[in-house]
Structure 1
Amino acid sequence: MTLRHCLCFCLILLTVGATATAAEWTPEPVQGTMHPRHEAAFVAVGGKAYLLGGRRLQPVDILDPATGVWTQGATPPVEVHHFQAVVWENKIWLVGAMTGRYPQERALDHIPVYDPATDSWSRGPSLPEHRRRGGAGAVIHEGKLYVVCGIINGHWDGHVAWLDELDLSTGIWRELPDAPRARDHFQAAIVGDKLYAAGGRRSWAARKETFNHVEARVDVYDFKAGIWVTLPSPAGDLPVPRAGTMSIAVGRHLIVAGGESLAQSTAHADNHALDTVTGTWVAWPPFARGRHGSGVIRLGKGLCVASGSGNRGGSPELDSVEMLDLTDLFPIRP
C-alpha cells in the first residue's frame, strides 16, 4: 500500500476483539528531503503529515501523502525536543518540551505552536513555573489540555507524577490528582473518557541510570470520575517494558509502539495493543526497523511512522517511513 493509495480511503471505524494477523509494516518510498531526527513529533493535520522538533534546530518536514513528496517548513525559534504534540484548532502544540543538551536539559517555560496554514511559529501559553517539566505526556479532551508526568531536570533527576489541566477557553491552569507513579519518555493517549499513561521510565542520569527504570504498569485517569486507577498486574502490564514509546488510540485499543530499554541496544520494533474493555494486551506486527522518539499517526486506512532513533540513545537517526494497513487487523464497519 503506497502513501498515495492510503489517502484514497476514508478513515475507518474500528471494531473490537481483534487480534494481530499476518499484516506487516512496509517501508514506503518517498521523494524530497526529510531531516532525520528523534525526540521529535510526527503529526497529521489537514491531510498532511508533519515532522517537528527533535535535537538541534531543524525545519518542519511536511509529507503530502497524495504525492509521497516531502517539503520543508519553517524552523522553530528554539531547539525543542522530548515533548508530545497535540492539535488544537488546526495548529500543532509542542507540549511538555525540553531544550538544550543531555543530560541536564531545561524544561521550556511555554508551549511552542506551529501553524501549518501560515507555516509560522508562535509562542503559546506559559506553563506554571513550579510545574514545568519535559518528557511528559499530553492530550486534549473536551476543550482542555492535559499534561501528565514528566521530568524536571532533563535526564538528570526530578521525575514527577503531576497531572495539570489547561482550560483552552480561559487560559487557566488547574492542578489535578497525581498519577499513581512518575514516568517520563512516554506518550499519553485517550480512549473514550479515559487518559492512558503506558510505557516510559524514570530517567536518572545523576545515578548513571538513565535507561534502567522502565515502567510496566499502566495508569488510567477517568475524566468523569476524576480519579486514577492502575490496571491489574500482570494482565494489564505492558508486555515489553520500554521508554521512548509512541502511543495512539485505534478504536477501543491503545497502541504502544517502538521504544528503547536496557534489554537491547537496538531500538524496539515491538508494538502492542491494549484492549481497553478487557484490559489485556496483544502483540501487533513489529516495525520493519525498530525506532523510538517519534510518533505514529493515522493516514487513510492505515498507520504511519517516520524518523526516530534506530538504537538506544540518539543514533542512528532514521530517514525511513513505514505503513501498516489496518484492514488486515480490524474488520471495516459502515
Structure 2
Amino acid sequence: MKKFLLATFFLILLVIGGLFMLRLFMGWNNGMHEARSEIHATTLNNRLYVAGGIGLFRVLDSCEALDLTLNVWSDCGKLPRALHHVAMAADDSHVYASGGYVALPFEADKEAGLFRHDPATGTWTEVSKLPHPIGQHAMTHFSGALYLIGGQDNGKDLDTIWRYDIAADTWSAMQPMPTARHSHAIARSGPLLYVTGGRSTEYGTEMRQVDAYHLIEDRWEELPDMPKGRGGHGTFVSGNRLHIFGGESLSDGKVLANHDILDLTTLQWSVGEPLNQPRHGFAVSDTEMPGGITVVGGGARPGFETIYSVTGTAQTLSIEPAMPSVGDIGK
C-alpha cells in the first residue's frame, strides 16, 4: 500500500512538472500576471482592462490592465467575487463588468451583479442587479447606456438585448436578436453593433450567422454568413471592414487561428493575418492602435483542456486584408 501511495505521489509530481515545462515551452505564461481564458476586455484612457476568467485550474477574481502605449501590465483591484465569462465595457470614466459564472464549469452567479471599477481608487463596487443571472454574453457602452447581448440563463440560449441607463439605474428590454446565442463576439462602430458566430441549441457549436444591430433605431439587419463558423472568438470593426478571428470548433475538437474579413460595402469576404497562436476565450481591445488591435489571454486547447492551457500572451493583430477567400475568387 505504501509503495502504491508513493508511486501515485511521484506520478502526480511528474504530471505537474511536465505541465509546468509544457507551459514554459509553449509560452503560455508570458504577458499577464495571471494567465486566463473565458474573458472579455474593454479600454479606458489607452488601458486595456481584463477581469476574472478561468485561471490555471481555478476561477479568478483579479483584474489586470495593459497600458497599450507602454506595453506594461498592472493590477486593477479585485472583483467582489471570482467569476469567469464576465462581460466588460467602459464609459468615459469607469469600467463595468457584468454576469458570469462563480465556479467550474458553469455555475451561474445567482447574485447577478453589475460592477463598476473606479480607476482613481482601484476598487470595484456593485452598482445594480442584472434583470436575471446571465453568462457567456457580451456587453458594450453607447450614449450613456450599457447593452447586454445574448448569453445563457440556466442553460437557456438568450436572444435578449438589455439596455441599462447608467444615470437612471434602470433596465429595459430592446428588440431581440434574430437568433438566440451564447459564446458569440461583438464589435461596435458608432451606433452600429455587430454580433458574430457563437453557439446555440438550435444551430450547434459553430454558428456562422452575422447580424448588425442599429442601437439608435433598435432594429436588426442580417449580414452574409462567415466562411467558418465558430464560438469563443474575437471580432473588431475598422473602417468598412469587420474582422473575425480565432475561436473554437467543438465538433472538430480544434482551436482556431484563422482570420476572416467582411467588407461591409461589397459584402464580400477576404482573409487576414492569422493569430500567431490558435486560441479561444481570449479578450480583444475595443480600441485600435498603430499596427492593429491587441488580443490577450485565451485557451490554447479546446473544451475542458482550457483549464491547463490558459495563456497570458498578448499579440498585436494586423487588421489589413490579405487575400480573397477561396469562395470569393473569380467573383
**Which category describes the TM-score, using the shorter chain as reference length?**
0.7 to 0.9
Code of the residue aligned with 2:49 in structure 1: it is: Y
- Give CA deviations for 1:133-165 in whole Å, capped at 9, x if unaligned: 211121222222211211012xxx211111121
Q: Find the residue that maps to 1:73 and give its secondary structure.
A: strand
Cα distance in 2, alignment partners of residues 35 and 247 from structure 1 = 23
Code of the residue aligned with 2:263 in structure 1: it is: D
Judging changes above 3 Å, is the alpha-carbon distance between structure 1 residues 193 and 108 closer, same or farther for their aligned structure 2 residues?
A: same
Aligned with 1:305 (options 279, 284, 295): 295
Aligned with 1:240 (options 228, 234, 242): 228
- Does residue 321 of the first structure (1) align with residue 281 of the second (2)? no
Question: Could you say which structure has the higher helix fraction?
Answer: 2
Identity percentage over the alignment? 25
Aligned with 2:165 (options 157, 164, 167): 167
Cα distance in 1, alignment partners of residues 205 and 319 from structure 2 = 33
- Give CA deviations for 1:47-99 in whole Å, capped at 9, x if unaligned: 22333210212422233344433233322221122132111233211134232
Cα distance in 2, alignment partners of residues 44 and 230 from structure 1 = 28
Aligned with 1:219 (options 198, 202, 211): 211
After TM superposition, the score normalised by the length of structure 1 is 0.77
Aligned-residue offset at 1:217: 1.3
Q: Is the 8 A contact 1:96 1:150 kept in 2?
A: no
CA RMSD of aligned residues (A): 2.7
- Max radius of gyration: which structure? 2
Indicate the residue corresponding to 1:47 in structure 2: 46
Aligned with 1:292 (options 273, 276, 280): 280
Q: Is the 8 A contact 1:98 1:108 kept in 2?
A: no
Indicate the residue corresponding to 1:145 in structure 2: 146
Judging changes above 3 Å, is the alpha-carbon distance between structure 1 residues 104 and 32 closer, same or farther for their aligned structure 2 residues?
A: closer
Counterpart mapping for 1:73-222 below 5 A? 73-106=76-109, 108-129=111-132, 132-153=133-154, 157-202=155-200, 212-222=204-214
Judging changes above 3 Å, is the alpha-carbon distance between structure 1 residues 328 and 175 closer, same or farther for their aligned structure 2 residues?
A: closer
Indicate the residue corresponding to 2:23 in structure 1: none
Q: Find the residue that maps to 2:243 and give its secondary structure.
A: strand
Q: Is the 8 A contact 1:274 1:281 kept in 2?
A: yes
Q: Is the 8 A contact 2:32 2:312 kept in 1?
A: no
After TM superposition, the score normalised by the length of structure 2 is 0.78
Q: Is the 8 A contact 1:97 1:107 kept in 2?
A: no
Cα distance in 2, alignment partners of residues 299 and 219 from structure 1 = 22
- Does residue 228 of the first structure (1) align with residue 226 of the second (2)? no
Aligned residues: 287
Code of the residue aligned with 2:239 in structure 1: it is: G
Judging changes above 3 Å, is the alpha-carbon distance between structure 1 residues 51 and 103 closer, same or farther for their aligned structure 2 residues?
A: closer
Aligned with 1:250 (options 217, 233, 238): 238
Cα distance in 2, alignment partners of residues 257 and 108 from structure 1 = 33
Code of the residue aligned with 1:187 in structure 2: it is: A
Q: Is the 8 A contact 1:96 1:147 kept in 2?
A: no
Aligned with 2:73 (options 64, 70, 75): 70
Q: Which runs of 5+ in 2 are unaligned?
A: 1-25, 323-331
Q: Is the 8 A contact 1:291 1:310 kept in 2?
A: yes
Code of the residue aligned with 1:44 in structure 2: it is: T
| Structure with more contact order per residue of length (Cα contacts < 8 Å, sep ≥ 6) | 1
Q: Is the 8 A contact 2:271 2:321 kept in 1?
A: no
Q: Which runs of 5+ in 1 are unaligned?
A: 1-26, 205-210, 330-334
Cα distance in 1, alignment partners of residues 115 and 260 from structure 2 = 31
Code of the residue aligned with 2:181 in structure 1: it is: R
- Does residue 272 of the first structure (1) align with residue 265 of the second (2)? no
Q: Is the 8 A contact 2:198 2:207 kept in 1?
A: yes
Q: Is the 8 A contact 1:255 1:274 kept in 2?
A: yes
- Give CA deviations for 1:170-208 in whole Å, capped at 9, x if unaligned: 22211122111100012222234322211110269xxxx
